[in-house]
Amino acid sequence: MGYAQLVIGPAGSGKSTYCSSLYRHCETTGRSINIVNLDPAAEQFDYPVAMDIRELICLDDVMEELGLGPNGALMYCMEYPFALSNGLNLMIRELEDNLDDWLTDELDNYMDDDYLVFDCPGQIELFSHVPVLRNFVEHLKSKNFNVCVVYLLDSQFITDVTKFISGCMASLSAMVQLELPHVNILSKMDLVTNKRDIGKYLNPQGQVLLSELNQHMAPQFFKLNKALVDLVDQYSMVSFVPLDLRKESSIQYILSQIDNCIQYGEDADVKVKDFDPEDIDD
């Protein structure tokens, strides 16, 4: 059985930085992981790339061939390879077959207990309402991978309760779409100047959130506000873990949470150390 993290989140939330920091941490602790680039628009990396989707399709080529803008071209790169609808042209079908073959061939290079981290693009459409990543996850599951979603949200974005609720709803949308174990991370905590402002959102109090939310919105939205706050508070559907990349303990804590979600290491064989019987007498 293989293990995988699917690292998603809005553009600029620190996904690639998280991947590179995670790689360095595992390298220091003697643990083996493989980082996979799923962003056709990526240009440079701070980590060794084990697999690269640009070997199959590149954003610049799509923009040039189809005359699309950056966002439309990226959606084409990610969505059409997995498209299942009828009426696709020959090029799209060929691309779909190539992607399936490419991914299958690449995954065959890894052992059953290998650990893969997929660095995904930041377009929110990919994990909120289009089936791109969901189809990708199904492919991983068919290859006997346990997968966990790692959703990153920039902690500097959480400046008031309305933005916190917005971040929660975006994360919840990804949870519903992908139907996988989910670890939500507040990234860039090392850049936050006043951590007290963020702390109240790590362990949110429902009544406090509701009071603040009502202060920002008109009375006709009060019932909606209560429903949103109840979803976050009473049902505990969304919660965030802070990540400070300056602290190895913070990275290790995040990694342990993810490992627990995908049951990493639980089926590992017990290693029996050989010993000399004479050592017992000593």
Q: What is the pLDDT of residues 181-228, one digit of tens each?
A: 999 999 999 888 877 778 888 888 888 889 999 998 899 999 999 998
What's residue 113's pLDDT? 81
> CA-CA distance, 213 to 202, in Å (whole number)?
17
What's residue 82's pLDDT? 46
What's residue 254's pLDDT? 95
What's residue 87's pLDDT? 35
* Amino acid type, 230: D
Q: What angle do CA 254, 255, 260 make, to 5 degrees?
A: 100
> CA-CA distance, 178 to 151, in Å (whole number)?
12
Closest CA to 116 of 5, 20, 267, 262: 5
What's residue 70's pLDDT? 58
> CA-CA distance, 115 to 34, in Å (whole number)?
6
Give me the residues of the chain with pLDDT under 50, please.
81-96, 270, 275, 280
What's residue 112's pLDDT? 73
- How many CA atoms lie within 13 Å of 147's alpha carbon, on the beta-carbon side? 23
With 0-12 CB in 10 A as exposed, 13-18 as middle and 19+ as buried, what is 126?
A: buried
What's residue 205's pLDDT? 85
